[in-house]
Amino acid sequence: MNVGSLSLLKFNMMKASLFIKIFLVFPLILLADYLLMALFGCSTCLFGLGDGFYCGPFCVIGKIILALSIIFFGYLIYPDIRNIFKSKNNGAAPEKQKNM
């Protein structure tokens, strides 16, 4: 294998990692958010909090949890996106320069 094929293989692995994070990890994070909010809603109903709670603080808590999940997902995919753009900037050297 030459240097060009190794960099292409590395680039494909980075893209595969990014696709796995987008199509597997992101839905799992959203599922965890859904389950967390469902459990929180059930527990508040059990404790007898009224409709005023669901229209106010419950929505705020849901937005905070969703924002934290988005920040966490951004933290997960940031290295992959950075490496993809960095690998495009650092191209392989031409054959003429290798022989010198």
Q: Which residue has the tokens 């404790």?
A: 47
Q: 87-100: per-residue pLDDT in tens?
A: 666 655 555 555 55
Q: 17-27: per-residue pLDDT in tens?
A: 888 999 999 99
Residue 45 located in a structural domain? yes
Angle between the N-to-C axes of helices 3-20 and 57-89, in degrees from 0 to 180, rounded to the nearest 10: 170
Q: In total, how many domains does the chain have?
A: 1
Q: 33-71: per-residue pLDDT in tens?
A: 999 999 999 999 999 988 888 889 999 999 999 999 999
pLDDT of 13 higher than 80: no
Residue 9 located in a structural domain? no
Domain limits for position 31: 18-89
Cβ(69)–Cβ(29) under 8 Å? yes
Residue 53 located in a structural domain? yes
Residue 1 located in a structural domain? no
3-state secondary structure of 58: helix
Q: Which residue has the tokens 């650092």?
A: 90
- How far apart CA 25 and CA 73 sit, in angstroms, is 8
Provide the pLDDT for residue 50.
82
